[in-house]
Amino acid sequence: MSPVRPGTIGFLGAGQMAEAMARGFVKAGLCKPEDITAYDPWDVRRQVFEEFGAKAVTTNGEVVRASETVFVSVKPNYVSTVLEETSGDLSPDQLIVSIAAGVPLEKIEAAACKSSKVPCVRVMPNTPCLVGAAACAYAAGKHVSEANGKRVEELFGAIGVIRKVPENLLDAVTGLSGSGPAYVYLAIEAMADGGVAAGLPRDVALPLAAQTVMGAAKMVLETGQHPGALKDNVCSPGGTTIAGVRALEKNGVRSAFIEGVNAAADRAREMS
Ligand code: NAD
């Protein structure tokens, strides 16, 4: 087996998440479009990859033979199939990155390491991958080196943030950042409704609500200040903001978010 070219990236499954990651890696300058190879049985998805200059091939085997880092980006029930199909072409110099929700490393390794000890990692991404603002966590399998871990952090760091966690915490990650965009969509929609109730036109209220959430998130990430301190800074005595905070607290806003994250984490545990 001839060694694969360093820096090359492959996708087993060229769906929404694969496209978001591939575009993100190219945009961040981590690779050129021609360094990417993808296979999908659906020709529409192969065309999407070809249109931005990546190579779309006709088998998963071709992806594995062409790529140093191989993303498993099929739905969870196809993970074992695509890995078993290609394991004969995998070598310890490659890196398998599965983004499939709920598929344990043990199962990924059992399918990928049939003929050699291939390093495998499991990543829990979220949909803001599509806009380069992902929040991801990963767990490393038994054959993963420090250099493999660095590569994972470099790749996902280009499309958002990534943290390493023990595998048993990935269900909690699913509850927080995996499912979290939906909670924030609810909050944005509800804030916009509040703005409309207070008299704003919808087309003014919605962008103001979304930008407020993005701005507050940037304040937390960029100032490094605790969110409680940032909240205190904007609550003047007897003012408007503390009146709003008081009403939110009376309606259990904190508890609602805590229970939401925990319910999703519990559900992820049940499903994995
Ligand atoms: P998707 O349906 O857009 O992509 C999956 C692709 O796999 C499809 O295009 C399908 O044609 C292709 N496929 C089916 N069988 C195949 C095979 N044998 N070989 C190669 N390709 C095959 O799904 P997605 O939303 O991109 O999700 C992909 C993975 O990402 C899933 O495992 C999911 O659990 C994980 N994930 C998704 C999200 C999300 O929000 N979408 C978040 C976290 C994790």
In tens, the pLDDT along 239-264 reads 999 999 999 999 999 999 999 999 99
Spacing, Cα 99 to ligand 1 middle (Å): 9
For Cα atoms 163, 264, 17, give the angle at the middle one, nearest 5 degrees: 55
Cα separation, 16 vs 95, whole angstroms: 21
What residues contact residue 189 under an 8 Å CB cut-off, 6+ apart?
A: 209
In tens, the pLDDT along 132-170 reads 899 999 999 999 999 999 999 999 999 999 999 999 999
| 102 vs 32, higher pLDDT | 32
Q: Which of 74, 85, 96, 162 to mutate to test the pocket of ligand 1 (most atoms within 8 A of CB)?
A: 74
Residues 139, 113: contact at Cβ < 8 Å? no
Provide the ipTM: 0.98
What residues contact residue 107 under an 8 Å CB cut-off, 6+ apart?
A: 79, 80
Ligand 1 near 45 CB (within 6 A): yes
Ligand 1 near 13 CB (within 6 A): yes
Ligand 1 near 174 CB (within 6 A): no
What pLDDT, on a 0 to 100 scale, did the predictor assign at position 140? 98
**What single-letter DSSP state applies at residue 236?**
-
Global pTM reads 0.92
Ligand 1 near 62 CB (within 6 A): no
In tens, the pLDDT along 90-129 reads 999 999 999 998 899 999 999 999 888 999 999 999 989 8
Residue nearest to atom 12 of ligand 1 (CA): 13
| 101 vs 45, higher pLDDT | 45
Closest CA to 111 of 93, 143, 92, 86: 86
Spacing, Cα 115 to ligand 1 middle (Å): 26
What pLDDT, on a 0 to 100 scale, did the predictor assign at position 229? 98
Looking at ligand 1, which atom is closest to the CA of residue 17? 26
State yes or no: pLDDT of 32 exceeds 70: yes
Helix residue spans in 28-133 (DSSP H): 43-51, 60-66, 79-86, 105-112
State yes or no: pLDDT of 2 exceeds 90: no
Ligand 1 near 12 CB (within 6 A): yes
What pLDDT, on a 0 to 100 scale, did the predictor assign at position 64? 97
State yes or no: pLDDT of 1 exceeds 70: no
Average of per-residue pLDDT across 195-224: 98
Q: How does the average pLDDT of the chain come out, rounded?
A: 95
State yes or no: pLDDT of 265 exceeds 70: yes
